[in-house]
């Protein structure tokens, strides 16, 4: 009979024990008990590869606010002994060049300054750039960070910091009209 009372007491205590969640703006604090003992979830800013942590979302007890779940916020099931919403381990930032389509020259131009790309610890460095025959529909990347998508058929990737600069696209776009003029003159 005594065993049953002990088991019942442990179950009642466990059911009413507060979960621990990391709380605050940067995820650096140790997990602490949630104020509400009926909380079952912890939440945190969502990390998007090559973009980084969502802004304006804190590490907290409870569900994601409003309609932010899976957009800018992530949830996990809380535990009484440890926080499930610990900050993700990130690797060093790297840089890639973004490309924009120039309607006048009918070619993509690289940005003058590189974009900073964010990544998790296990993520490799990957930049992308348009191939010389790329169009607005065959190359749609907006940052140059990350791998080519399946719909970006005129895209190529490289795997070192700032590797996607290329004067070749711009130079090829300038030589095509010049080559056409030379052929017509001959």
DSSP symbol at 6 = H
pLDDT at 89 over 90: yes
Q: How confident is the model at residue 10 (pLDDT cuts 50, 70, 90)?
A: very low
Q: Exposure pattern of 51-73 as b/e (b: 16+ CB <10 Å)?
A: bbbbeebebbbbebeeebeeebb
Q: 16: which strand partners?
A: none
- The DSSP result for 66-130, as a single string, is TT-BTTTEEEEE-BSSS-S-PPPPB---EEE--EEEETTTTEEEE-SSPEEE--BTTPPP-EEEE
- Sheet containing 60-61: which strands, arranged edge to edge? 60-61, 41-45, 73-77
The answer to whether 62 and 44 are in contact (CB under 8 A) is no
Q: What is the pLDDT of residues 13-33, one digit of tens each?
A: 444 579 999 999 999 999 999
Instruction: Please state, in angstroms and rounded to a whole number, the distance separating the CA atoms of residues 113 and 175.
Output: 25
Tell me what pLDDT residue 2 has: 52
Say whether pTM exceeds 0.75: no
**Domain residue ranges of the chain, discontinuous segments joined by +:** 20-88, 94-177
Assigned token pair, 46: 């969502």
Query: Rounded mean pLDDT of the chain?
Result: 86
Q: What is the pLDDT of residues 132-182, one digit of tens each?
A: 999 999 999 989 999 999 999 999 999 999 999 965 444 444 444 544 554
């Amino acid at each position: 009979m005594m065993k049953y009372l002990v088991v019942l007491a442990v179950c009642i205590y466990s059911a009413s024990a507060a979960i621990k969640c990391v709380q605050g703006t940067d995820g650096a604090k140790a997990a602490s008990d949630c104020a509400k003992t009926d909380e079952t979830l912890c939440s945190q800013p969502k990390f998007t590869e090559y973009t980084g942590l969502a802004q304006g979302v804190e590490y907290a007890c409870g569900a994601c606010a409003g309609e932010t779940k899976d957009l800018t916020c992530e949830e996990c099931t809380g535990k009484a002994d440890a926080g499930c919403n610990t900050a993700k381990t990130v690797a060093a930032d790297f840089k890639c060049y973004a490309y924009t389509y120039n309607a006048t020259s009918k070619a993509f131009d690289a940005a003058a300054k590189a974009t900073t790309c964010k990544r998790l610890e296990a993520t490799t460095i990957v930049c992308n750039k348009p191939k010389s025959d790329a169009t607005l529909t065959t190359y749609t990347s907006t940052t140059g960070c990350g791998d080519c998508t399946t719909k970006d058929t005129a895209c190529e990737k490289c795997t070192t910091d700032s590797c996607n600069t290329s004067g070749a696209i711009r130079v090829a776009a300038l030589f095509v009209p010049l080559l056409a003029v030379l052929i017509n003159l001959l």
